[in-house]
Amino acid sequence: MYNRLLLVGAGHSHLEVLRQLKEGHRDDWDVCMINPSPYQYYSGMFSGFTEEIYTEGEMRVDLRKLTKSAGVHLIQKKAFKLKAEQKKIVCEDGSVYPFDVISFDIGSKSLPATFEDTIARTIKPNYKFPDQIRRLRETNKPLIVGGGAAGTELAMAVQAYKQKHNIPGQVRLITAEKVMSHTPKWVSARMQKLLEKKGIRVWQDERVEEVFEEFVKTDRGNRVRHTGVLWLGGAIGDPIFENSSVAIDERNFALVRSTLQFRDYDFIFGAGDCTTMIDFPNLPKSGVYAVRQGPVLWQNLRSYLTGQPLESFTPQKNALYILSTGGKKGFLVYGPLSSHNQKAWQLKNKIDREFMAKYQ
Protein backbone atom coordinates (compact mmCIF):
# COMPACT_ATOMS: atom_id res chain seq x y z
CA MET A 1 0.00 0.00 0.00
CA TYR A 2 0.98 3.64 -0.50
CA ASN A 3 1.79 5.70 2.55
CA ARG A 4 3.78 8.80 1.52
CA LEU A 5 1.41 11.66 0.63
CA LEU A 6 2.92 14.93 -0.54
CA LEU A 7 0.75 18.07 -0.64
CA VAL A 8 2.22 20.81 -2.84
CA GLY A 9 0.85 24.31 -2.14
CA ALA A 10 -1.38 25.41 0.73
CA GLY A 11 -4.31 26.49 -1.45
CA HIS A 12 -7.95 26.31 -0.40
CA SER A 13 -8.47 22.59 -1.07
CA HIS A 14 -5.32 21.61 0.79
CA LEU A 15 -6.41 23.65 3.80
CA GLU A 16 -9.43 21.35 3.93
CA VAL A 17 -7.17 18.28 3.68
CA LEU A 18 -5.14 19.63 6.63
CA ARG A 19 -8.31 20.30 8.60
CA GLN A 20 -9.54 16.75 8.05
CA LEU A 21 -6.17 15.33 9.10
CA LYS A 22 -6.29 17.52 12.20
CA GLU A 23 -9.74 16.09 13.02
CA GLY A 24 -7.99 12.73 13.22
CA HIS A 25 -9.32 11.21 10.00
CA ARG A 26 -6.14 9.43 9.04
CA ASP A 27 -4.45 6.09 8.86
CA ASP A 28 -0.76 5.42 9.07
CA TRP A 29 0.27 7.90 6.38
CA ASP A 30 3.36 10.01 6.21
CA VAL A 31 2.10 13.43 5.04
CA CYS A 32 4.29 16.39 4.02
CA MET A 33 3.34 19.80 2.65
CA ILE A 34 5.62 21.94 0.48
CA ASN A 35 4.80 25.67 0.54
CA PRO A 36 7.12 28.66 0.13
CA SER A 37 5.66 30.67 3.00
CA PRO A 38 4.68 29.70 6.58
CA TYR A 39 1.35 31.41 5.88
CA GLN A 40 -1.50 30.98 3.43
CA TYR A 41 -3.09 34.34 2.58
CA TYR A 42 -6.81 34.40 1.82
CA SER A 43 -7.64 36.50 -1.25
CA GLY A 44 -11.27 37.03 -0.20
CA MET A 45 -9.92 39.42 2.45
CA PHE A 46 -7.31 41.19 0.29
CA SER A 47 -9.53 44.18 -0.43
CA GLY A 48 -10.48 44.52 3.25
CA PHE A 49 -6.80 44.39 4.25
CA THR A 50 -6.00 47.07 1.66
CA GLU A 51 -8.63 49.34 3.25
CA GLU A 52 -7.42 48.45 6.78
CA ILE A 53 -10.63 46.63 7.72
CA TYR A 54 -8.68 43.41 8.42
CA THR A 55 -5.24 43.01 9.95
CA GLU A 56 -2.58 40.85 8.32
CA GLY A 57 -3.11 38.20 11.01
CA GLU A 58 -6.84 38.02 10.23
CA MET A 59 -6.35 37.30 6.52
CA ARG A 60 -3.80 34.50 6.81
CA VAL A 61 -3.61 30.96 8.09
CA ASP A 62 -0.55 30.03 10.14
CA LEU A 63 0.57 26.85 8.37
CA ARG A 64 3.12 25.96 11.04
CA LYS A 65 0.33 25.75 13.60
CA LEU A 66 -2.16 23.97 11.32
CA THR A 67 0.31 21.40 9.95
CA LYS A 68 1.62 20.68 13.44
CA SER A 69 -1.86 19.95 14.77
CA ALA A 70 -2.58 17.84 11.67
CA GLY A 71 0.60 15.78 12.09
CA VAL A 72 1.93 17.03 8.76
CA HIS A 73 5.56 17.96 8.11
CA LEU A 74 5.81 21.46 6.57
CA ILE A 75 8.64 21.99 4.10
CA GLN A 76 9.08 25.71 3.49
CA LYS A 77 10.18 25.58 -0.13
CA LYS A 78 8.91 26.23 -3.63
CA ALA A 79 8.36 23.18 -5.80
CA PHE A 80 10.02 23.62 -9.15
CA LYS A 81 9.83 20.45 -11.23
CA LEU A 82 7.71 17.34 -11.15
CA LYS A 83 9.34 14.05 -12.18
CA ALA A 84 6.15 12.09 -12.53
CA GLU A 85 7.59 8.75 -13.69
CA GLN A 86 10.15 8.74 -10.88
CA LYS A 87 7.60 9.91 -8.30
CA LYS A 88 9.81 12.78 -7.21
CA ILE A 89 9.46 16.51 -6.86
CA VAL A 90 12.38 18.92 -7.16
CA CYS A 91 12.37 22.22 -5.27
CA GLU A 92 13.95 25.53 -6.32
CA ASP A 93 16.97 24.91 -4.06
CA GLY A 94 17.62 21.55 -5.77
CA SER A 95 16.30 19.37 -2.94
CA VAL A 96 14.30 16.31 -4.04
CA TYR A 97 11.31 14.73 -2.28
CA PRO A 98 9.95 11.28 -3.15
CA PHE A 99 6.26 10.41 -2.81
CA ASP A 100 3.76 7.64 -3.42
CA VAL A 101 0.82 9.96 -3.96
CA ILE A 102 1.04 13.69 -4.67
CA SER A 103 -1.53 16.48 -4.79
CA PHE A 104 -1.14 19.99 -6.22
CA ASP A 105 -3.00 23.11 -5.06
CA ILE A 106 -0.51 25.82 -5.99
CA GLY A 107 -2.82 28.43 -7.50
CA SER A 108 -1.80 30.41 -10.56
CA LYS A 109 0.62 33.06 -11.75
CA SER A 110 -0.54 36.41 -13.06
CA LEU A 111 2.54 38.14 -14.49
CA PRO A 112 3.40 36.94 -18.01
CA ALA A 113 7.06 35.90 -18.49
CA THR A 114 7.62 38.83 -20.89
CA PHE A 115 7.08 41.32 -18.05
CA GLU A 116 9.03 39.50 -15.35
CA ASP A 117 12.12 41.69 -15.76
CA THR A 118 10.18 44.96 -15.61
CA ILE A 119 9.05 46.96 -12.59
CA ALA A 120 5.55 45.41 -12.88
CA ARG A 121 4.70 43.58 -9.66
CA THR A 122 2.62 40.50 -8.96
CA ILE A 123 0.92 39.33 -5.78
CA LYS A 124 1.49 35.67 -6.69
CA PRO A 125 2.37 33.50 -4.87
CA ASN A 126 -0.14 35.15 -2.60
CA TYR A 127 2.21 35.69 0.39
CA LYS A 128 3.63 38.60 -1.63
CA PHE A 129 0.34 40.47 -1.38
CA PRO A 130 0.75 42.49 1.88
CA ASP A 131 4.10 44.03 0.94
CA GLN A 132 3.10 44.82 -2.61
CA ILE A 133 -0.16 46.51 -1.67
CA ARG A 134 1.35 48.46 1.27
CA ARG A 135 3.86 49.98 -1.12
CA LEU A 136 1.41 50.66 -3.95
CA ARG A 137 -1.41 52.25 -1.96
CA GLU A 138 0.86 55.05 -0.67
CA THR A 139 1.78 56.27 -4.15
CA ASN A 140 0.08 58.94 -6.28
CA LYS A 141 -0.71 57.12 -9.50
CA PRO A 142 -0.91 53.40 -8.78
CA LEU A 143 -1.70 51.46 -11.94
CA ILE A 144 -3.56 48.17 -11.93
CA VAL A 145 -3.39 46.04 -15.06
CA GLY A 146 -6.42 43.77 -15.39
CA GLY A 147 -10.12 44.52 -15.12
CA GLY A 148 -11.40 41.19 -13.84
CA ALA A 149 -12.84 40.74 -10.34
CA ALA A 150 -9.42 40.94 -8.66
CA GLY A 151 -8.22 44.06 -10.51
CA THR A 152 -11.52 45.88 -10.15
CA GLU A 153 -11.87 45.05 -6.45
CA LEU A 154 -8.32 46.07 -5.59
CA ALA A 155 -8.55 49.30 -7.61
CA MET A 156 -11.56 50.33 -5.52
CA ALA A 157 -9.88 49.25 -2.28
CA VAL A 158 -6.73 51.25 -3.03
CA GLN A 159 -8.89 54.26 -3.92
CA ALA A 160 -10.79 53.91 -0.62
CA TYR A 161 -7.47 53.75 1.27
CA LYS A 162 -6.15 56.85 -0.49
CA GLN A 163 -9.31 58.79 0.30
CA LYS A 164 -9.23 57.73 3.94
CA HIS A 165 -5.64 58.94 4.29
CA ASN A 166 -5.93 61.97 1.99
CA ILE A 167 -3.24 60.65 -0.33
CA PRO A 168 -3.40 62.77 -3.49
CA GLY A 169 -3.51 61.33 -7.00
CA GLN A 170 -5.65 58.80 -8.78
CA VAL A 171 -5.86 55.02 -9.15
CA ARG A 172 -5.55 53.90 -12.78
CA LEU A 173 -6.77 50.69 -14.36
CA ILE A 174 -6.00 49.33 -17.82
CA THR A 175 -7.77 46.28 -19.13
CA ALA A 176 -7.44 44.47 -22.46
CA GLU A 177 -11.21 43.83 -22.57
CA LYS A 178 -14.14 45.48 -20.80
CA VAL A 179 -14.07 45.54 -17.01
CA MET A 180 -15.53 42.30 -15.62
CA SER A 181 -15.79 41.01 -19.18
CA HIS A 182 -16.70 37.48 -18.03
CA THR A 183 -19.95 38.72 -16.46
CA PRO A 184 -23.19 39.74 -18.25
CA LYS A 185 -22.95 43.06 -20.13
CA TRP A 186 -25.09 44.94 -17.62
CA VAL A 187 -22.80 43.92 -14.74
CA SER A 188 -19.76 45.08 -16.69
CA ALA A 189 -21.46 48.42 -17.51
CA ARG A 190 -22.51 48.96 -13.88
CA MET A 191 -19.01 48.25 -12.66
CA GLN A 192 -17.56 50.65 -15.21
CA LYS A 193 -19.85 53.43 -13.95
CA LEU A 194 -18.98 52.65 -10.36
CA LEU A 195 -15.25 52.87 -11.04
CA GLU A 196 -15.71 56.23 -12.74
CA LYS A 197 -17.88 57.51 -9.89
CA LYS A 198 -15.11 56.65 -7.48
CA GLY A 199 -12.64 58.69 -9.49
CA ILE A 200 -10.70 55.74 -10.90
CA ARG A 201 -9.36 56.35 -14.42
CA VAL A 202 -10.14 53.34 -16.63
CA TRP A 203 -8.77 52.36 -20.05
CA GLN A 204 -10.79 49.51 -21.58
CA ASP A 205 -10.07 47.38 -24.66
CA GLU A 206 -6.45 48.47 -24.38
CA ARG A 207 -3.49 46.18 -23.85
CA VAL A 208 -0.25 47.08 -22.04
CA GLU A 209 2.61 46.29 -24.38
CA GLU A 210 5.64 47.73 -22.62
CA VAL A 211 6.36 48.70 -19.03
CA PHE A 212 8.81 51.48 -18.20
CA GLU A 213 9.87 53.07 -14.90
CA GLU A 214 7.37 55.93 -15.09
CA PHE A 215 4.83 54.94 -17.71
CA VAL A 216 3.40 52.02 -19.68
CA LYS A 217 2.85 51.95 -23.43
CA THR A 218 -0.37 50.44 -24.74
CA ASP A 219 -1.30 48.89 -28.08
CA ARG A 220 -3.23 52.07 -28.90
CA GLY A 221 -0.05 54.08 -28.56
CA ASN A 222 -1.04 55.68 -25.24
CA ARG A 223 1.60 56.37 -22.59
CA VAL A 224 -0.02 56.05 -19.17
CA ARG A 225 2.01 57.46 -16.30
CA HIS A 226 2.23 55.52 -13.06
CA THR A 227 3.95 55.31 -9.69
CA GLY A 228 3.85 51.52 -9.54
CA VAL A 229 2.26 48.73 -11.57
CA LEU A 230 0.35 45.80 -10.10
CA TRP A 231 -0.36 43.07 -12.64
CA LEU A 232 -3.66 41.25 -12.17
CA GLY A 233 -4.25 40.38 -15.80
CA GLY A 234 -5.73 36.92 -15.42
CA ALA A 235 -4.51 33.50 -14.34
CA ILE A 236 -1.61 31.72 -16.07
CA GLY A 237 -0.40 28.25 -15.12
CA ASP A 238 2.80 27.79 -13.13
CA PRO A 239 5.66 26.51 -15.35
CA ILE A 240 6.08 23.51 -13.02
CA PHE A 241 3.91 21.30 -15.24
CA GLU A 242 5.27 22.53 -18.54
CA ASN A 243 8.50 20.52 -18.48
CA SER A 244 7.11 17.35 -16.98
CA SER A 245 5.21 14.59 -18.74
CA VAL A 246 1.79 15.62 -17.44
CA ALA A 247 -0.98 16.81 -19.77
CA ILE A 248 -1.65 20.57 -19.66
CA ASP A 249 -4.00 22.97 -21.44
CA GLU A 250 -2.93 25.97 -23.56
CA ARG A 251 -2.42 28.13 -20.45
CA ASN A 252 -0.21 25.55 -18.65
CA PHE A 253 -2.90 24.31 -16.25
CA ALA A 254 -2.81 20.59 -15.48
CA LEU A 255 -5.70 18.64 -16.96
CA VAL A 256 -7.63 16.70 -14.34
CA ARG A 257 -10.45 14.18 -14.49
CA SER A 258 -13.65 14.55 -12.47
CA THR A 259 -11.96 12.55 -9.68
CA LEU A 260 -9.35 15.37 -9.51
CA GLN A 261 -6.68 12.92 -10.72
CA PHE A 262 -4.31 14.13 -13.45
CA ARG A 263 -5.36 12.93 -16.91
CA ASP A 264 -2.63 10.29 -17.30
CA TYR A 265 -1.59 9.55 -13.72
CA ASP A 266 -3.78 7.99 -11.06
CA PHE A 267 -1.36 8.86 -8.25
CA ILE A 268 -1.23 12.61 -9.05
CA PHE A 269 -4.13 14.75 -7.83
CA GLY A 270 -4.81 18.45 -8.19
CA ALA A 271 -7.38 21.10 -7.31
CA GLY A 272 -7.98 24.83 -7.51
CA ASP A 273 -6.60 27.33 -10.01
CA CYS A 274 -3.60 25.19 -11.06
CA THR A 275 -5.90 22.66 -12.72
CA THR A 276 -8.40 22.59 -15.57
CA MET A 277 -11.17 20.03 -15.38
CA ILE A 278 -11.35 18.11 -18.66
CA ASP A 279 -15.16 17.98 -18.45
CA PHE A 280 -15.50 21.69 -17.52
CA PRO A 281 -12.69 23.48 -19.39
CA ASN A 282 -14.31 26.91 -19.04
CA LEU A 283 -14.78 26.85 -15.29
CA PRO A 284 -13.46 30.20 -14.00
CA LYS A 285 -10.25 30.21 -11.96
CA SER A 286 -11.88 31.22 -8.73
CA GLY A 287 -11.55 30.48 -5.05
CA VAL A 288 -15.19 29.35 -4.98
CA TYR A 289 -14.32 26.17 -6.88
CA ALA A 290 -11.04 25.62 -5.05
CA VAL A 291 -13.04 25.63 -1.80
CA ARG A 292 -15.75 23.30 -3.17
CA GLN A 293 -13.19 20.82 -4.48
CA GLY A 294 -11.58 20.50 -1.04
CA PRO A 295 -13.89 17.86 0.49
CA VAL A 296 -13.87 15.73 -2.70
CA LEU A 297 -10.09 15.97 -2.95
CA TRP A 298 -9.76 14.88 0.66
CA GLN A 299 -12.20 11.99 0.20
CA ASN A 300 -10.44 10.82 -2.98
CA LEU A 301 -6.93 11.03 -1.54
CA ARG A 302 -8.13 8.97 1.37
CA SER A 303 -9.92 6.45 -0.85
CA TYR A 304 -6.92 6.12 -3.15
CA LEU A 305 -4.56 5.57 -0.22
CA THR A 306 -6.83 2.85 1.14
CA GLY A 307 -7.82 1.23 -2.15
CA GLN A 308 -11.45 2.42 -2.17
CA PRO A 309 -13.44 3.72 -5.20
CA LEU A 310 -13.20 7.46 -5.92
CA GLU A 311 -16.01 10.00 -6.29
CA SER A 312 -16.52 12.75 -8.89
CA PHE A 313 -16.54 16.51 -8.44
CA THR A 314 -19.32 18.36 -10.26
CA PRO A 315 -19.14 22.15 -10.11
CA GLN A 316 -22.29 24.07 -9.21
CA LYS A 317 -24.01 25.94 -12.07
CA ASN A 318 -24.15 29.37 -10.45
CA ALA A 319 -21.60 30.70 -8.03
CA LEU A 320 -22.19 33.61 -5.66
CA TYR A 321 -19.75 36.47 -6.19
CA ILE A 322 -19.52 39.46 -3.88
CA LEU A 323 -17.00 42.13 -4.75
CA SER A 324 -16.05 44.64 -2.12
CA THR A 325 -16.44 48.12 -3.65
CA GLY A 326 -14.90 50.13 -0.80
CA GLY A 327 -16.30 51.66 2.40
CA LYS A 328 -17.90 48.36 3.46
CA LYS A 329 -20.22 48.14 0.47
CA GLY A 330 -20.45 45.06 -1.71
CA PHE A 331 -21.59 44.24 -5.23
CA LEU A 332 -23.37 40.90 -5.22
CA VAL A 333 -23.95 38.82 -8.35
CA TYR A 334 -25.72 35.48 -8.36
CA GLY A 335 -26.99 34.28 -11.74
CA PRO A 336 -29.35 37.04 -12.96
CA LEU A 337 -29.56 38.66 -9.48
CA SER A 338 -27.44 41.56 -8.34
CA SER A 339 -27.36 44.22 -5.64
CA HIS A 340 -24.92 46.86 -4.46
CA ASN A 341 -25.19 47.80 -0.80
CA GLN A 342 -23.81 47.37 2.71
CA LYS A 343 -25.77 44.17 3.27
CA ALA A 344 -23.85 42.50 0.44
CA TRP A 345 -20.55 43.46 2.06
CA GLN A 346 -21.79 42.22 5.44
CA LEU A 347 -22.63 38.85 3.88
CA LYS A 348 -19.17 38.68 2.27
CA ASN A 349 -17.55 39.59 5.59
CA LYS A 350 -19.51 36.80 7.33
CA ILE A 351 -18.59 34.19 4.69
CA ASP A 352 -14.92 35.18 4.72
CA ARG A 353 -14.61 35.27 8.49
CA GLU A 354 -16.37 31.90 8.83
CA PHE A 355 -14.03 30.40 6.22
CA MET A 356 -10.95 31.64 8.05
CA ALA A 357 -12.24 30.51 11.45
CA LYS A 358 -12.21 26.90 10.18
CA TYR A 359 -8.46 26.95 9.61
CA GLN A 360 -6.96 29.48 12.04
Ligand X SMILES: Cc1cc2nc3c(=O)[nH]c(=O)nc-3n(C[C@H](O)[C@H](O)[C@H](O)COP(=O)(O)OP(=O)(O)OC[C@H]3O[C@@H](n4cnc5c(N)ncnc54)[C@H](O)[C@@H]3O)c2cc1C
- State the residues that interact with ligand X by CB under 6 A: 8-13, 34-37, 40, 43-44, 46, 78-79, 105-107, 123, 125-127, 150, 153-154, 232, 238, 240, 272-274, 285-288, 290
For residues 193 and 317, what is the distance between their CA atoms, to the nearest angstrom?
28
| Shortest distance (Å) from residue 135 CB to ligand X | 16
For residues 24 and 46, what is the distance between their CA atoms, to the nearest angstrom?
31
| Shortest distance (Å) from residue 16 CB to ligand X | 10
| Shortest distance (Å) from residue 199 CB to ligand X | 20
Q: Is the peptide bond before 125 cis (omega within 30 degrees of 0)?
A: yes
| Angle made by CA atoms 320, 322, 324, in degrees to the nearest 5 | 170
> Among residues 43 and 261, whose Cβ is nearest to ligand X?
43
| Shortest distance (Å) from residue 222 CB to ligand X | 25
| Shortest distance (Å) from residue 221 CB to ligand X | 29
> Among residues 134 and 223, whose Cβ is nearest to ligand X?
134
> Among residues 59 and 202, whose Cβ is nearest to ligand X?
59
**Helix (H/G/I), strand (E/B), else coil: 203:** strand
> Among residues 272 and 302, whose Cβ is nearest to ligand X?
272
What residues contact residue 46 under an 8 Å CB cut-off, 6+ apart? 59, 123, 129, 133, 150, 153, 154, 157
| Shortest distance (Å) from residue 335 CB to ligand X | 16
Closest to 33 measured CA to CA, from 66, 1, 81, 82? 66
Contact by Cβ (8 Å): 104, 274: yes
| Shortest distance (Å) from residue 54 CB to ligand X | 13
Pairing of strands 329-334, 321-326: antiparallel
Query: Beta partners for 338?
Result: 333
| Shortest distance (Å) from residue 12 CB to ligand X | 4
| Shortest distance (Å) from residue 79 CB to ligand X | 4
Count of all residues that appear for the chain in the document: 360
Mark residue 49 as left, alpha or beta (left: phi above 0; alpha: psi -120 to 50; beta: remaining). alpha
Distances (CA, A) of 29 to 1, 2, 41: 10, 8, 27
> Among residues 189 and 320, whose Cβ is nearest to ligand X?
320
| Angle made by CA atoms 96, 99, 100, in degrees to the nearest 5 | 160
> Among residues 28 and 43, whose Cβ is nearest to ligand X?
43
> Among residues 76 and 222, whose Cβ is nearest to ligand X?
76
> Among residues 60 and 190, whose Cβ is nearest to ligand X?
60
Query: What does DSSP assign to residue 261?
Result: B
Contact by Cβ (8 Å): 40, 9: no
For residues 240 and 82, what is the distance between their CA atoms, to the nearest angstrom?
7
**Helix (H/G/I), strand (E/B), else coil: 236:** strand
> Among residues 24 and 148, whose Cβ is nearest to ligand X?
148
